[in-house]
Amino acid sequence: MRTITHVLDTSALLAHYFDEPGADVVAKLWKSRGPKPGICAVTVAELRGRLEQEMSDAGEAKAAADAYLDELTVCIEVDRAVAELACHIRAATPQRLPLVDALIAATARAAGAVLVHKDPHMARIPSEVVKQVVL
């Protein structure tokens, strides 16, 4: 398996699904000949929850989540090293950064990958701490 080059935040997956600004950037990652983008394990719960909230058809929400989680991305587990790195990232970020977002950013950093997102609070993470593409 080739090295993961990008880790998608839940906001990037939702931007793609709902065809919001930045959806084309996410689509290009899937069309490239590189490895599938990664996601942090906590993104599984976050994506399923958000799709269930946003969509009136529970079956459609499950099918959409399954496609993103099973076919289009590679899930990266959160271990102690990633959790410790999340603490470092939160400390290095000048404003409040929710723990889930810190774990997602730490997953990207640990993988040596670029974090792809559209969250203003994640954009506050210093670029020398985590490489980012802001949608």
Residues 42-49 have a mean pLDDT of: 97
pTM of the complete model beyond 0.85? yes
User: What integer pLDDT is reported at residue 125 of this predicted model?
Assistant: 97
User: What integer pLDDT is reported at residue 19 of this predicted model?
Assistant: 97
Model pLDDT for residues 54-74, shown as the tens digit of each residue: 999 999 999 999 999 999 999
How far, in Å, are 49, 102, 130 from residue 65 at the CA level?
9, 22, 26
How far, in Å, are 88, 106, 107 from residue 84 at the CA level?
7, 9, 11
User: What integer pLDDT is reported at residue 1 of this predicted model?
Assistant: 45
Query: What are the residues whose beta carbons fall under 8 Å from the beta carbon of 86, sequence distance 6 or more?
Result: 99, 102, 103, 105, 106
Residue 3 has pLDDT above 90, yes or no: no
8 A C-beta contact, residue 7 and residue 40 = yes
The overall average pLDDT reported for the chain is 95
- Whether domain 6-134 has CATH 3.90.1150.10: the reply is no
Query: What are the residues whose beta carbons fall under 8 Å from the beta carbon of 115, sequence distance 6 or more?
Result: 6, 7, 9, 104, 105, 108, 109, 122, 125, 130, 131, 132, 133
Residues 109-123 have a mean pLDDT of: 96
Domains of the chain: which residue ranges? 6-134
Integer Cα distance of 68 and 65 in angstroms = 5
